[in-house]
Chain A
Amino acid sequence: MEQYLEFTGIGKAYPGVQALRDISFRCDGGEVLALLGENGAGKSTLLKILSGDTRPDEGGIIIDGRPQQFSAPYDAIKAGVSVIYQERQLVPAMSVMENIFLGEQPKTSLGTIDKKALRQSTQDIIDKFGLPIRPDELAGRLSVAYQQMVEIMKAYRRNSKIIAFDEPTAPLADAEIAILFDLIRRLKEEGRIVLYVSHRLSEIFRITDKIAVLKDGRFVKYLTTSRTNEQELIQAMVGRDIGDTYANLRRNDKLGDVLLEVCNLETEYLRDVSFTLRRGEVLGLAGLVGAGRTEVARAIFGADAILGGEIRFEGEAIDFSEPKDAIEAGIALCPEDRKDQGLVLWRSIRENITMPVLGRIRKGLFLDRAAEEHLAEEAIAKYAIRTPSINKIVRELSGGNQQKVILGRWTNSKMTTKLLILDEPTKGIDVGTKAEVYQMICDFAGEGFGVIFISSELTEVINVSDRIIVMRNGRVTGDVTRREATEESVLALAMTD
């Protein structure tokens, strides 16, 4: 029998947003289909509909010719759909076997759980995949990669015909990605349908057969992977060519004196890290997830204890006990997770911008409202934040505008910021706004800031930074200029000993 999954005319609206509009495409058994699109293109909404988490307003899903009606995740699972999300769905305090048979453990004739059968069936699946995991092991004790494997085995155990992956490689190291791809190939050989959502174009070329591109909630293109290239994909996603983005950046070429010196720094996570940063320079920190880039930022900012070596800022050794001291000294950190660590979502733009300078906008005992409004207006003008009012709640802004609010916070005229650390500033921002953020980074350098730019996207970190520090396992493995750096050379430094 022919196996296929078909979306027919799916539409979904949320208050104020048409998230999906008339999405129709088909995916056949034995194929890996990439779902590609910018943030906000509607990929996650589509996955939610597939997993039964949300219901579409219009259209439907057809599996093997039968129309499906999912009203809860369980319906989708029964129909043979497993979605493997970024958020782990494991119960860390339960064993691997209990997790794999979650909710459907084999029973004895008495109605109690049959531990023996449970262990045996789990071992069978593990053997089939050839993984070094024991059924009795606590799921929480496994590495992130193996936790993901457990989830794939769970989908396998359910005999799911359709397995969808939502950015599965985001937390994985390269060797682990290889294991994952082996598993995906195996699923494909068994004739299952695999949906693969990822931002990483290189992976899409490695593992997928077909590509469906979404843009602004619409289906724009259906491509065969072997007959397309990155350029074409990006054009389909963005609707324009961004190849010139980097070439068109107005960069700063006037370097000042040394602002920051990190000498043989040791912390719980870092070993012998050394580099320098000048005023007016953009220093990129490249490396895989977990290489220690964020930890460098944390050490400078005073969040992790310095165990050896030293950090010199404007010539003086620093070791801050809390972020407040770092801010006083002129160091600003834009954290990686905007919503979790950056913004106070339910408060206004004004309040979010003046957060660190409340002490400097006082009139006697009270806050100076006029000065505060002035700072907010200033940031809105400088970064072209799209909002009707400075009193708008930050939660209601788009991701790009939210990021601009954070930048506005750290560069407002009451701040004495000299060093700006940007941790993944383009995460979750659409390609158009990314270009704006790149220009801002260069402008910061032009204003005389030292900028540390941390990013997992190799292309942007190589092309935006003046100099790139490559890290691996808490150590510096390379220090190259933009002219010297190529994606291949930096990747080699980030991955090999």
Chain B
Amino acid sequence: MEKQSYMRGVVRSPMFSLLILFAALVIYFSAASKGLFLKPKNLVNILNAMAISALLTQGVSFLMISGKLDLSTGANGTLCGMLLAFLLQHGTPVVIALPVSLALGGVIGLFNSVLVNEINFQPFIATLASTSVFTGFVYVLANKKAIDIKNPVVLWLGKGMIINYIPVSAVMALLLMVVVGVILHKTKFGRQIYLVGGNAKAAMLSGINPKKLSYKLFAICGVFSSLAGITLAARLQSGTIAGVTNARFQGITAAVLGGISFGGGSGGMGGAFVGLLVLSGFNNGMTVVGLNPYWQTVASGLLLLFALALDVFRTRRNAKA
């Protein structure tokens, strides 16, 4: 009896329907690509793409659970990747260049946080506005062209393989995801994020400082974005002007698909992981079956819309129950 209702709970959970969706995608794309989709080489491609999105998802998840949002993650990552390339080009040792680039991500996060916490901007518009500022700085650093990266340590991070098949970046991103999951669910810090996302006033009266927390979360999100940008730059062997700018929506899409609601206070890394699987499988599948890239743009927009609709319906159902 107990077990039966547990099973029913599993079947009804949003994660379950997402997994079904994922399975359907896998079957469809495998069939449509005549098995190409599941070839090891393509799986490596998927893992590689997943690494970047996973990092962006983690950063933005922290913020979304606390009821905030960052749209500048892409521009942030691009700028940090560019900075790393720039520093290495100018002979900065990697042990300095790498931490400095990561730190820049954190500083950018803090800048957003000042706009949101001190001048009361809505996170959305604040980070949208700061996006263009950061993008401008990317152009300033790049001076109109990409900067090559030759440092082997950095390249290993982006292109290295473990036992020939498993990308180092994917392992790093997924390990970090486990760490983030544990932080969210098992630590005081993680719990505070959910409480603030659920009701910031109540959290404050219970001795949690939502403002301080928000500064930390924006900074963390900035560092994760930076890491994503650096990883991509390392993989492409150069800091590019496009960088991860357009990938920011992938992070948000995966998080929302996985049940991290815009309202804050709910969701977690388990769901986000499933969301990532769906997203990465979907994006890669479209390429593998040879869909016109312009249609792919349409389709990924539609996927984000689908995720949003899912969020709306979940919230409505919860409000009713």
Contacts and interface: CB of A to CB of B under 8 A. Distances in A.
B203 A355 contact: yes
Q: Which of A340, A341, A356 has the most CB of B within 10 A?
A: A341
B143 interface: no
Contact of B202 (A15, A301, A343): A343
Interface residues of A, number: 27
A349 to B, nearest CB: 13
A366 B202 CA distance: 23
Contacts of B204: 322-323
Where chain B touches its partner, the secondary structure class is helix
A344 interface: yes
B198 interface: yes
A343 B201 CA distance: 9
B45 interface: no
B90 interface: no
Interface stretch (B1-9, B107-115, B121-129, B206-214): B206-214
A409 interface: yes
B266 A346 contact: yes
B206 A327 contact: yes
Contacts of A301: 205
B205 A358 contact: no
A323 B34 CA distance: 62
A240 interface: no
Given A346-B265, A346-B266, A347-B195, A365 B206 contact: no
B194 A347 contact: yes
**Most chain B C-beta atoms within 10 Å of own C-beta, residue among A323, A344, A359, A365:** A344
B194 A351 contact: yes
B interface, size bucket: 20 to 34
A335 interface: yes
Given A344-B198, A347-B194, A347-B265, A356 B206 contact: yes
Contact of B207 (A327, A362, A367): A327
A324 B192 contact: no
A362 B187 CA distance: 8
Contact of B208 (A324, A340, A343, A365): A324
Interface string B162-194: 000000000000000000001000111001101
Contacts of A356: 206-207
B316 interface: no
A327 B201 CA distance: 15
A173 B282 CA distance: 62
B198 A366 contact: no
15 contacts: A301-B205, A322-B209, A323-B204, A323-B205, A327-B207, A340-B202, A341-B201, A344-B199, A346-B318, A347-B195, A355-B206, A362-B188, A365-B187, A367-B188, A409-B206
Given A341-B199, A344-B202, 14 more contacts: A15-B320, A15-B321, A301-B205, A323-B204, A328-B207, A342-B205, A343-B202, A344-B199, A346-B266, A347-B198, A356-B207, A358-B188, A362-B188, A409-B206
